[in-house]
């Protein structure tokens, strides 16, 4: 499943090269199986054709992420990092499971706009994590937005509170790989199934442009040319299999199943707003909260 990276071996030559990476799926590092995933040299070309803004993009030990704020956040609020549920360091939440206010001391490397290292930030808790109906983990940091700005010169991206639209131009920005992808939202998927996990209203990316690879898990999906996050990158069909690990399938409202090797997907994030309290904090007791709890 899910574009998580366990170990990477890259061999580049000036003339011809074979570049491979090993994508890591459900188990945490040090356990489970590995699946070879080719990284085609021509993929490198798309990254040089477009300039991306990497300010606030985060590099995790095995995934990507982003420093983000809500539309109504203030500079004195504790800063937050967004990544995937399957990037949660304590293990991937089982179907129907969620993590809420769990202590964490995970560190994240933040990038400047030009991909230079800005500095390291530290979590105090995993505020929320799940892989049910979506695939997100949200960390609260020990620093405020104001402190990060003063110390590193980095501002957060803003999480959109509205549902994205079909054909929106998007960028997927990977802190792990220091690379960006550009494409559009091809369509929205009623259900995306992978092994025992089910995600709702997923974004399928158009092709070519966003053929994401291992290590891009947790990358923010932003509206092209903006610093507005509309989703988080999380999975793709690697081998052309149906509904298996690393091979998600689409299920429409009539139960028809569609799958195709090479298709990549992201999860929307606007529903996080339904669980915010008056202090701009994630609170699952808020009436109408749509995150699994």
Under 8 Å between Cβ of 189 and 204: yes
pLDDT of 39: 43
* Token code pair at residue 169: 């131009």
- For 37-93, the pLDDT digits (tens) are 334 444 444 444 579 999 999 999 899 999 999 999 999 999 999 999 999 999 999
Per-residue pLDDT, averaged over 248-267, amounts to 98
Rounded to whole angstroms, the Cα distance separating 58 from 83 reads: 9
Which of 12-21, 96-105, 141-150 is the least confident region? 12-21
Average pLDDT, the chain: 87
Query: Which residue segments constitute the domains of the chain, with CATH numbers given?
Result: 57-160 (2.40.10)
pLDDT of 204: 98
Under 8 Å between Cβ of 228 and 165: no
Nearest to 231 by CA among 223, 242, 240, 220: 220
Pairing of strands 157-159, 228-236: parallel
pLDDT of 32 above 90: no
| Cβ count within 10 A of residue 226 | 15
- For 102-141, the pLDDT digits (tens) are 999 999 999 999 999 999 999 999 999 999 999 999 999 9
CA distances from 279 to 73, 89, 282 (A): 9, 27, 9
pLDDT of 9 above 70: no
* Token code pair at residue 139: 């960390």
- For 137-161, the pLDDT digits (tens) are 999 999 999 999 999 999 999 999 9
E strand or H helix at 287? none
pTM of the model: 0.87
Rounded to whole angstroms, the Cα distance separating 27 from 23 reads: 11
- For 174-221, the pLDDT digits (tens) are 999 999 999 999 999 999 999 999 999 999 999 999 999 999 999 999
pLDDT of 50: 72
CA distances from 200 to 135, 253, 266, 290 (A): 10, 11, 11, 12
Per-residue pLDDT, averaged over 18-41, amounts to 32
pLDDT of 7 above 90: no
Q: Kindly write down the DSSP assignment for every residue of 96-146, as one continuous string.
A: T-EEEEEE---EEEEE-TTS-EEEEEEEEEEEEEE-SBS-EEEEEEEEEHH
* Token code pair at residue 282: 């994630």
Q: In what order do the strands lie in the sheet with 35-39?
A: 4-9, 19-24, 35-39
């Amino acid at each position: 499943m899910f574009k998580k990276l366990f170990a990477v071996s890259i061999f580049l030559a000036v003339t011809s090269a074979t570049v491979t990476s090993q994508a890591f799926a459900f188990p945490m590092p040090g356990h489970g199986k590995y699946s070879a995933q080719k990284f085609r040299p021509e993929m490198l070309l798309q990254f040089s054709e477009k300039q991306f803004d990497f300010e606030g993009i985060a590099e995790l030990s095995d995934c990507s992420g982003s420093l983000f704020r809500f539309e109504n956040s203030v500079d004195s609020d504790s800063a937050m990092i967004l990544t995937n549920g399957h990037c949660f360091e304590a293990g991937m939440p089982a179907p129907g499971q969620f993590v809420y206010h769990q202590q964490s001391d995970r560190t994240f490397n933040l990038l400047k706009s030009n991909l230079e290292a800005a500095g390291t930030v530290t979590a105090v808790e995993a505020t929320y994590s799940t892989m049910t109906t979506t695939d997100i983990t949200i960390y609260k940091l020990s620093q405020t937005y104001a402190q990060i700005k003063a110390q590193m010169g980095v501002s957060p991206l803003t999480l959109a509170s509205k549902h994205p639209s079909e054909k929106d131009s998007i960028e997927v920005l990977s802190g792990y790989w220091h690379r960006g992808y550009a494409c559009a939202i091809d369509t929205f998927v009623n259900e995306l199934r992978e092994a025992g996990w089910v995600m709702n209203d997923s974004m399928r990316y158009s092709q070519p442009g966003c053929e994401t690879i291992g290590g891009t898990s947790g990358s923010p999906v932003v509206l092209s040319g903006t610093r507005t996050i509309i989703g988080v990158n999380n999975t793709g069909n690697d081998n052309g299999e149906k509904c298996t690990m690393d091979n998600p399938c689409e299920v429409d409202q009539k139960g028809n199943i569609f799958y195709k090797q090479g298709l990549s997907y992201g999860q929307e994030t606007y529903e996080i707003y339904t669980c915010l309290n008056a202090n701009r904090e994630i609170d699952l007791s808020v009436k109408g909260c749509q995150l699994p709890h």
